[in-house]
């Protein structure tokens, strides 16, 4: 009996075809089943395999149950599979040993590059759907704080943290997509203007 084909989880970056890695493109081309959100599937019009559209999570996972381990399946995720992606759900469903992660360009990488900042000492705050509860250790962290925005109030959270360290915030919107904008703002201006739901907000570290 041959080895079961792994479930490949491939990072697609922000959605710009130029930022898709060769490894992810090869995994899409080789897949007998290519699965993911419609906008990610559209990045690979030449891929010949069956297409499984993510329209609802549980039906999507049930469809994967029927295919994983039997045929070559590649699941496409936005950004990098190691950062706030579907990979965690797939790991819990199928087990870590069944997965092969293919890294992609994340919005965090693009944000720090656009701001010209080092992110080695960054701390990440996930605020996609809802704001997380306030953590007092945030204000004591000396490095930058990267807020993965989307939730209502994310701009206000970034502004409050910036005030606590008497700094500014980089508002990085729609990274790698049409309409990308990167601005360095003071807290009051950020509160007035808010941010696009597809944003990374970087609160500068104490050393900036």
**Secondary structure letter of residue 97 according to DSSP:** G
Residues 6+ apart with CB under 8 A from 44: 25, 28, 29, 34, 76
- pLDDT (0 to 100) of residue 107: 93
In this prediction the pTM is 0.88
The per-residue pLDDT for range 164-194, each reduced to its tens digit, is: 999 999 999 999 888 999 999 999 999 999 9
* 22 pLDDT above the threshold of 60: yes
Q: Going from the N-terminus, what domains does the chain have, and what CATH number goes with each?
A: 7-102 (3.40.1010.10), 107-203 (3.30.950.10)
* 208 pLDDT above the threshold of 80: no
**Secondary structure letter of residue 201 according to DSSP:** E
* 34 pLDDT above the threshold of 90: yes
Residues 6+ apart with CB under 8 A from 88: none
* 150 pLDDT above the threshold of 60: yes
- pLDDT (0 to 100) of residue 117: 95
Please give the mean pLDDT across all residues of the chain: 94
H, E, C per residue of 112-124: HHHHCCCCCCCEE
Residues 134-147 have a mean pLDDT of: 94
* 20 pLDDT above the threshold of 90: yes
| Torsion sign across C-alpha atoms 93, 94, 95, 96 | negative
Q: Residue 78 CB: number of other CB atoms within 10 A?
A: 22
Strand-strand pairing, 169-173 and 199-203: antiparallel
Residue 1 — very low, low, confident or very high, per pLDDT cuts 50/70/90?
very low
Q: What percent of the chain has pLDDT over 70?
A: 98
- pLDDT (0 to 100) of residue 85: 83
Long-range contacts of 65-70 (CB under 8 A, 24+ apart): 65/93, 67/33, 68/7, 68/94, 68/98, 69/4, 69/5, 69/7, 69/98, 70/4, 70/5
Residues 82-101 have a mean pLDDT of: 93
Judge contact between 179 and 172, C-beta under 8 A: no
- pLDDT (0 to 100) of residue 2: 59
Rounded distance, CA 111 to CA 147, Å?
A: 11
* 72 pLDDT above the threshold of 60: yes
Residues 105-112 have a mean pLDDT of: 95
Residue 68 — very low, low, confident or very high, per pLDDT cuts 50/70/90?
very high
- pLDDT (0 to 100) of residue 129: 83
- pLDDT (0 to 100) of residue 207: 55
């Amino acid at each position: 009996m041959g080895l079961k084909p792994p479930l490949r989880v491939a990072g697609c970056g922000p959605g710009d075809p130029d930022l898709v890695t060769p490894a992810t493109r090869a995994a899409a081309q080789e897949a007998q089943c290519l699965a993911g959100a419609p906008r990610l599937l559209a990045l690979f019009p030449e891929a010949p395999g069956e297409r499984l559209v993510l329209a609802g999570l549980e039906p999507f996972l049930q469809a994967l149950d029927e295919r994983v381990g039997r045929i070559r399946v590649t699941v496409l995720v936005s950004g990098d599979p190691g950062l706030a992606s579907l990979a965690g759900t797939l790991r819990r469903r199928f087990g870590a040993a069944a997965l092969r992660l293919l890294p992609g360009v994340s919005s965090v990488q693009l944000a720090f590059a656009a701001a010209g900042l080092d992110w080695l000492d960054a701390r990440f705050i996930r605020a996609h759907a809802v704001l997380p509860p306030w953590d007092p250790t945030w204000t004591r962290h000396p490095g930058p704080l990267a807020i993965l925005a989307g939730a209502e109030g994310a701009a206000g959270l970034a502004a409050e943290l910036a005030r606590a360290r008497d700094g500014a915030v980089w508002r990085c919107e729609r990274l790698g997509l049409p309409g990308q904008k990167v601005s360095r703002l003071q807290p009051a201006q950020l509160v007035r203007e808010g941010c696009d739901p597809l944003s990374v907000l970087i609160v500068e570290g104490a050393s900036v």
